[in-house]
Structure 1
């Protein structure tokens, strides 16, 4: 099956695509991300043909095609193989910017769902928890873009750091506990944090937590520029 989320507002489109992915993950689907650097016709044919050996029997495999237009031939391959992707037992999710009319027409012929995502309404408050979600996915690209959007929307670096620290804290807690009740978290927060913790290697979350706290204190001691330091931190996850 093929699902397409396209639109000129990168943040809104990415958020909508990840809403869809969150629903799939709640059903225990395995999500694989393919970006433009590795998106080739051969890889797409391989992924559309059969499920990965790493997927449990009966489980769904979801493949996110993340802005293949960053390399023209990658998007061309996706459009050319749209029918094969649509007929695959796996779910393909195309996340893209605004598509050209011929590309959109071809994809609409085969997509189970084709959604042109509208941008955020003027004056709409930025959802700071979108940053937490991107961190839990270890999606550096989304996190960096969201950081810039948050800063442009007027959120303070302190508020952003607080949200990121909360997400790291919940992932560390989820990694050490067996269920939401033991962790003292809501089930949805626990499940997402548990899944996110598994993406990081042992000890990485502890290091990220310490470095974020150090960044905050050093900035308030005047040792560094908090906005620039936070951007470097995000790019280093």
Structure 2
């Protein structure tokens, strides 16, 4: 039999795998093995190809019952080739095979699941990218001085680097320039903003002030 365990939540995936291995090891043991659990054999990408080949040959001359865990072996191209070619054998084997992979590609997942008795997946929650820093550029384009000030203070309180905030403002000014018609008021405003923002770090160093305070001065200006 063959089981597949995948997922980016490593803790949950391994916990589920270990529980399944323990359960299967007990089930394959029993009276026939003198009350002992089946041997759990783990092969990882740190193992040799020979180790994997041996694990796929069966329980040896005494026919010991085994549970085989293939842990992250697909990153090794030679092991991967051997695993894929051995999937039909694993499916029909009296021994139990577990494949553990964090994030196999779609094709590999599909090929393994074709032969797997069961597939379990434990992905961690996807972290939402914080794009609130770009509210600075939006407020700049709208000439919304209040929103610009509030956003600047919010991002600074979150630990954003003044250099990053300056970069977003410069990008916003450049975007404003590129999207405006030549000789229009917005085009001239874009040129003025870019000129001021280019000079801002140099002016801050000349004055001996932190870039954070220079940004506050810029926001409080006429824009």
What TM-score does the superposition give when structure 1 sets the normalisation length? Answer: 0.44
Q: Based on CA coordinates, which of the two structures has the bigger radius of gyration?
A: 2
What TM-score does the superposition give when structure 2 sets the normalisation length? Answer: 0.46
